[in-house]
Every structure is written in C-alpha cells, then in structure tokens.
Structure 1
Amino acid sequence: MSDHTEACTEPFLTEDRLAIRALAREFVAREVLPVANELDPVAGEIPMELRAKMAELGFFGILIPEEYGGLGLGVSEYALVVEELARGWMSVASLIARGQQFAHGFDAGQRAEYLPRMARGEFLSAFALSEAEAGSDVANLRCRAERDGDGWRITGQKMWCTFADGSDYLQVFARTEPLDPSHRSRGITCFLMPKERGTLPDGVTGTPVRKIGYHGWKTWELSFEGARVEPGMIVGEEGRGFGVAMGDLVIARIHTAARAIGLARGALEDSIAYAAQRVQFGRPIGENQAIRFKIADMATQIEASRALLHRICTDYDAGQPSNLQASMVKLHATEMAERVTSEGLQIHGGAGYTTDFAVERHWRDARLTKIFEGTSEIQMKIISDALLGR
C-alpha cells in the first residue's frame, strides 16, 4: 500500500505509532485484503482464523489497560490501526471494537473477569440497542425486562444487531421501568447475555437483515421471548443503562471516522493503480487532466479528515475528550468518504460497477458510515446545538 495521501503529520506520528501502523498495514496486505476480495462479493463471513490472528497481534486489546492483558494504548493508536484495517475491509475494522468498547460501565469484578478475555479476543460483543421505533431516538425503547427470581426475563424486539450469532455475548438494553415521557432515558438497564459462538441465546430467535453491504458478518433482527438473564449480569446501575449506551460515543465516533478514512484511502489507492494501467485512446487514463484532478481532490479531502481526526485523538489522549469534536470528525470524515469512494468508482467506469474491483465495496460501506453511530443529521444537530444553543 502506498503513502500517497500522507503528508507529514509529526509530532502525531511518533516512532512507536509508525511501528504499530506498519504492523497493521502489513497485516492488512497479507491477511485481510485477499480474504475481503474473495469473500465480500459473495457475502461471506470473516474467517475464525483471521480473528485469531488479530488477537495474536493484540488488536482486540488496544484500549484495554496492561493490568488486564491489553496493550494500554490510546485512541491515537486505535485510530491508526482502524484506518489500516478499514482500508482492507471495514467489517474487520469494526470487529476490533467488539473487544474494547462499551466496557466503561463494568464494576471492578466485571473488569477483572471480562477484560482479560476481551483482550485475547475471547469475549466479543454484539450490541442490542436499536429497535424498529428506536433508532436515532434511542430513548424510545420498548423491549422490557421483568424480574424472575434473582434474575430477569427479557421480552421484545431488537434491530440492527450485527454479530449476534458470532459474538460471545449480547449486550442488551431493556426497560426495567415504564416509559416516563418526561424522562424517557430513565428506566433503561444494560444486561449481559453470555452465549456460545455461532448461536443465539436460549429464548432469542433472529432473522438476518438483507443488507447491501457491510458483509463479513450478519446483522440481525432479534426477538426476545422471555430470554433469561442470570444474576450479576447488569452493567452499571439498574435503570441507568442509557448512560452506558451513550458513554462510549466519543470513541465510537472516532472509530467510525477512522473507518471512513480507511475506506476513502482504499478508493484512492485503487484508483491511482487503475488509472495507471487502464488505457483509452492510446494512453493511460491517468494522463488525462480530468482524472488527475479527481485524484488530487480525493487525496486532499482524505488528508483534511485525517488531520482533524489526529487532532481530536491527541486531545482525547491528553484527557480532553469532546463530544462536539467527535461529532465534527464523524460528520466530516463520513461525508468525505462517500464522495471520495463515489469518485473512485467513477474513475473505474463500468468496471467499478462490478464486484471484480474492490472500489464498489468501499463505496457501499462508506455509505453506511453516514448512518451508524449517529446519522450525519444527528451530528449536525449536536454541533449546531453546541454552537447556537438548543
């Protein structure tokens, strides 16, 4: 993979960060891209062997403290690795979050029990939050949990639960108190439901969503029919699960921005290679000014998003996390990625509209980044409310 899009960004790119980026980049070239090019066109799933190799490199424990077996690094290193993985296959870049996000609500006992397993890639999550009427309006949950002895029973439906079958546990958000229209976020509790890989928990059935991209794993519509939750499986306080769901959104939006940049970079690098070898009217299309200007604009847009991302990562690692900045970089990078990947497809012409070239994968997956972790419209609301007041 080339460095066409990377201007000097020191002091962000320290020697240690350059080394971890080089490790991830070599891994993607050797292990991820060949698998993605083979399996994404047929909606195949990420192989277990690839997951095991990611675990060996420590990718599932980048943010987990060393005392729990993780690497104890910051979001700066996390973003570098995510960008590289997304350049190969966005689903693989998404998979590493399943071992290190949404753990901030764990108590000391849960951290000691689960974080070492997460760092080893042995306790990966699926996030069951959204519902048919609770997408951007997350507080509008209807799925409910009722006490059953010293445990709970969950009943209701969930949407958009990616990796529900392949994960080691579901993280389920359900109402333990009736919906109060004046305080809709109250009364939601976060539950853990451990399970065997390749199955859904007892009392849970599901139907895979027929999606146009984000291949490599299935996304599910789930039905909970009195599914049992054992004692001690609440994350945070009972009735305060909304805070658990929202607590990691800064990291989640940084993660999505890095994914979007990786996708855009994939489209750029593929387009540069294609423009050099595709001949029309007796010469490579890369000699045509129209193509050269497209590539120049694509590279500039990527670099602008990356610079903003690195600045926000630096602030976060310095103890200055910002919901506003996270929304800005999520908005900027994902909107950029859709434009850049679309231009990449245009450079490929008719070939770009086939599954013979990876650019269509980058394009389809970039479109999704504008939707999950809060749509572009939600990000604009957050930003405008911060600047202008609610």
Structure 2
Amino acid sequence: DWAARGSAGGRFGEVEALVLQIGFGEYLHQLISALPMSQNEMLRPGDLGISEAAASLAEDSEVRLFLDHGNTAETRVALARALGEGAVPDEAFDEETLDMIRAQFRAFTADRIAPHAHRWHLEDKLIPIETVREMANLGVFGVCIGEEFGGLGLGKTAMCLVSEELSRGWICAGSLGTRSEIAAELIGENGTPEQKAKWLPRLADGSVLPTAVFTEPDTGSDLASVSTRAARQEDGSWQIRGAKTWITHAARADLMTVLCRTDTGTPGYGGLSMLLAEKTRGTDAAPFPDPGIEGSEIEVLGYRGMKEYALGFDGFPVAADGLLGGIEGQGFKQLMRTFESARIQTAARAVGVGWNAFDLGLSYALERRQFGKPLIAFPRVADKLALMVTELVMARELTYSAARHKDKGERCDIEAGMAKLLAARVAWTNADNALQIHGGNGYALEYPVSRVLCDARILNIFEGAGEIQAQVIGRGTLRAQA
C-alpha cells in the first residue's frame, strides 16, 4: 500500500525502492530461517513444524529474487548514502488533513518538545503543565472524541500521527495523548449518557487528566486475578480497597479508571467492574491529598515526565454514578474493547521513538570523524542506518494499516498485536544501534541517545508484553485458519 500510494503520487523513487528491496529481502530471510523474538530467542520454522513450507517458499522464483538481491551490502550502502545526503522515505498520506496534522505536530515537537526533552528527563520531574496546556490547545487530548463533545472527531489514524510525531521528540509527550484517548474510548464506548456528557468534554479540552488504574503488584497481564475490591455502600456509592502499581501520571490525574472486583463471589473476569473515580489533582507537596488513597513514586530508568506510582486504597470513595455503564461485572469486557487502540497507539509511539533514535544516530554518524572520514563512511555504521530506516518504514506502515482497520470498524486484534510487537522491537533495536554509533559518548547521560535507549526499553513491556503479543498473534492466526 505504501509503495502503491507513492508510485501513484509520483513519489516512489530510489530511496523508496531501496527500502522496499531491503525490507522484503530481510523479512523473507527471517521467515525462511528464523524470526528474532528477542536478543537470544529465535523462532525457527522447525519449531512450528513448517520446515517444508519454509523450504518451498525459498524456492519460489520471485522470493529467490529478493533473497539474492534484496538486503545486500550494495543496497544498504546505496540507501545509507542517500540518507546521508538528506533523502527521506515517502511519508505522505495523500489526504490533506492527515498531511497537515503531521506537519503541524512535527513543527510543534521541534519547537516545544525536542529542545527541552533531555533536560526534563534528567531532572526527572513532571512535564511542565504549561506544555500540557499547549498540547491541549492543539487538540491533542480530543483527537478521537466526537465533535458533539468538543473533540476533533478524527480517527485512530490521525491519533497515530499525533502520537508518532510527539514521541519523536519525547515519548512522554506522545503518551500524554494516549492516556486521554484510552479513557475517552472507555467512556465513549461504554458509558451512560450522563457519564459521556460529564467527562468527554473535559477530557477533550485537557481540563481533566486521566490515569489508568489496572495493574496490581501480583497481577500484570493476568487481569482475571485482580483483587482490588470495591464495595457498594448504603447510599449507592462505592469504597475501594486494595493495591495497584505502575500507575502512570497518578498524582496529577483528576480521573482514575479503576478496574476492581465488585463481586467477590464470582471468580475470574466476571466479578470485575470499571469505576470512574474522581480525585483531587496532587501537588509536589501533597501528591495524593484525598482521604483513602496514598501513593509512593516508583523510580524508573526512562519514560519519565509523568512518573509512576504504587497506590494503596483504603476506603477511597467513588460516587454512585461512577460505575462505568451503570452495570456491574462488565469491567474486563469494557477494557478489552480498548486493547486494539492501546496497542496501535503504543506502536505509533514506538515508531516515533525509533525515528528519534535514527535521527540521533544519523546526525552523529555524519558529524563524527574517525581516521579522516565520517562514521557513515564505514560499512558497519552504514548498514545500521540503512536497516534502521527500513525497519521503521515497515513498522510504521503496519501500524497505520492497523489504524485504518480500526477506523473502518473492523476487528484488528491480530494487526494491532503485530504492529505493537514489531514497532517495539524496532524502537529498541534502533536505540541500541544509535547508542553504538555514538560509542562511549552514547553511554554518557549528557547525550540524548542515552535517554532514548531507556525510553525504548519500556515499549516491549507495557500495553501487552512482547510474549503476550506473540501469543495473541499466534492464537488469532490459528483461529482464522480453522
């Protein structure tokens, strides 16, 4: 689709052809020989009982052409040379609105995010509220919220663009919008008319900042084991008791979407409900001023700017109208409906982080000279840069393909999982390669690439760990073939 769009628009040139050639050559090699699942995990055809099918694929004449002439030293050098001269693979959408969104947020990120991101990271403080307000004024928090509720009424593809461009400056900036998008989808898809009227306009204009309160100390991906309880009181309100952890932006948030057990007699998913729990926005002096809630900060390597917290609830009150949708026992189903969007947005953030790593690596390779020539002139460095941009294009297009499926109302759990799995891997690989290009300097905190490496690492963990994504993809593929 990417190549077809570019070709139809007269934008499919040498760089695009090289990216396509290298990408197909590399991924066909992986399919036939082994897929890298992690640094020391290779999934081989024999592990799946498909060795004969892989061998047959390798004999196909068109496949053979890519295997022999796709990802070669010559094509990588040619692509690296073009990149060094300022060439950029086509990124146009042929949709004026989407192209304008990319240009707008690229300019905003270059002016308001990128120049400050590394200092904000090193200071390990919350992203300045003034920056949050600027993002709100641009509509970041209401991209997918309907116009009738004060949002922009755009789709997931537009949100991916916003997330990618902001994350290219700093992952925290890209993640702020995702927080609101997921909360808005939970409420928009499942809330009562009153809940939608109360919360969606305030989420859209950024006056309410949400946080997702799902994970527990002993419960990560296994949400059926959630043990935090909410008991209904005589007046119809609720009180929450239990512990949650890895809660992003919790102190500053005004609204918590809390997955908790409202029916202790029903095990597993059936006893879970989602509560919309209002809280007072915290300050540095009093991060959690409300009674019934306390929190402690979890110090982290990267993904700073919103801060992570462990929360303890001891009778925290929630209004009677805080039960999402007004029906108990629907919490897990309500949350599951957001997983596709969450994973697509995480993939978009990963693509942005991957581009940030590539930008830093390319810039350093052009400026740094050793033995009388720039680093990019050395084959191993050129190879890294060529593969970095090739895999980024592949991950980006897979991400936007999943987003387009979502915008059409089509089921896309497999596509979303594939996009998230690949993009997270590419972001980490690119960050690692960019740091390697920097050599010892990359290991110094003063160099932004050190931050990008730390930020990239989280992408293969949250919103579904890589192992979970692979399981979802495998199970879904088998189900589709049954």
Is the pair's TM-score, using the shorter chain for normalization, greater than 0.5? yes
Determine whether 1:114 maps to 2:114: no
Q: Kindly state the Cα deviation for residue 370 of structure 1 after the two structures are TM-superposed.
A: 0.4
Q: 2:384, 2:258 → 1: CA distance?
A: 44
Determine whether 1:147 maps to 2:232: yes
Could you say which residue in structure 1 is the equivalent of 2:210? 125
Instruction: Tell me the secondary structure at the aligned position of residue 447 of structure 2.
Output: coil
Q: Kindly state the Cα deviation for residue 180 of structure 1 after the two structures are TM-superposed.
A: 3.9
Determine whether 1:278 maps to 2:368: yes
Could you say which residue in structure 2 is the equivalent of 1:26? 107
Kindly name which structure, 1 or 2, has the bigger radius of gyration based on alpha carbons: 2
Q: Report Cα offsets for 1:138-173 as digits up to 9, x if no partner.
A: 110111111222211111100111111011111111
Structure 2 stretches lacking a partner, 5+ long: 1-83
Determine whether 1:339 maps to 2:421: no
> Is the CA contact (8 Å cut-off) linking 1:207 and 1:221 kept in structure 2?
yes
Determine whether 1:186 maps to 2:270: yes
* Matches for 1:10-159 after TM superposition, within 5 Å: 12-101=93-182, 102-103=186-187, 104-149=189-234, 150-159=236-245
Q: 2:340, 2:238 → 1: CA distance?
A: 31
Instruction: Tell me the secondary structure at the aligned position of residue 153 of structure 1.
Output: strand
Q: 2:390, 2:439 → 1: CA distance?
A: 22
> Is the CA contact (8 Å cut-off) linking 1:87 and 1:265 kept in structure 2?
yes
The structure with the largest helix share of the pair is 2
> Is the CA contact (8 Å cut-off) linking 1:5 and 1:302 kept in structure 2?
no
Q: Report Cα offsets for 1:32-83 as digits up to 9, x if no partner.
A: 1122121102212200000000011111100001111110001111101100
> Is the CA contact (8 Å cut-off) linking 1:6 and 1:303 kept in structure 2?
no
Could you say which residue in structure 1 is the equivalent of 2:336? 246
**Which among 432, 438, 448 is matched to residue 358 of structure 1?**
448
Could you say which residue in structure 1 is the equivalent of 2:90? 8
> Is the CA contact (8 Å cut-off) linking 1:180 and 1:186 kept in structure 2?
yes
Could you say which residue in structure 1 is the equivalent of 2:47? none
* Matches for 1:304-383 after TM superposition, within 5 Å: 304-383=394-473
Which amino acid in structure 1 is aligned with residue 437 of structure 2? I
Q: 1:174, 1:4 → 2: CA distance?
A: 52
Could you say which residue in structure 1 is the equivalent of 2:248? 162
Q: Kindly state the Cα deviation for residue 356 of structure 1 after the two structures are TM-superposed.
A: 1.5
Instruction: Tell me the secondary structure at the aligned position of residue 424 of structure 2.
Output: helix
Could you say which residue in structure 2 is the equivalent of 1:214? 303
TM-score by length of 1: 0.95
Q: 1:117, 1:314 → 2: CA distance?
A: 27
Q: 1:54, 1:377 → 2: CA distance?
A: 34
Instruction: Tell me the secondary structure at the aligned position of residue 270 of structure 2.
Output: coil
Q: 2:87, 2:142 → 1: CA distance?
A: 28
Q: Kindly state the Cα deviation for residue 352 of structure 1 after the two structures are TM-superposed.
A: 0.8
Structure of higher RCO (CA pairs closer than 8 Å, 6+ residues apart): 1
Q: Structure 1's 179 and 323: CA in aligned 2 closer, same or farther, altered over 3 A?
A: farther
Instruction: Tell me the secondary structure at the aligned position of residue 110 of structure 2.
Output: helix
> Is the CA contact (8 Å cut-off) linking 2:118 and 2:451 kept in structure 1?
no
Quote the RMSD (CA, aligned, Å): 1.7
Determine whether 1:224 maps to 2:308: no
Q: Structure 1's 179 and 29: CA in aligned 2 closer, same or farther, altered over 3 A?
A: farther
Q: Report Cα offsets for 1:4-28 as digits up to 9, x if no partner.
A: 6853355x34121111111000010
Q: How many pairs are equivalent?
A: 386
Which amino acid in structure 1 is aligned with residue 386 of structure 2? A
Structure 1 stretches lacking a partner, 5+ long: none
Q: 2:295, 2:112 → 1: CA distance?
A: 31
Q: Report Cα offsets for 1:219-265 as digits up to 9, x if no partner.
A: 11111011111110111221211112221111100100000000010
Give structure 1 regions of 4+ aligned residues with deviation exceeding 3 angstroms: 2-6
TM-score by length of 2: 0.77
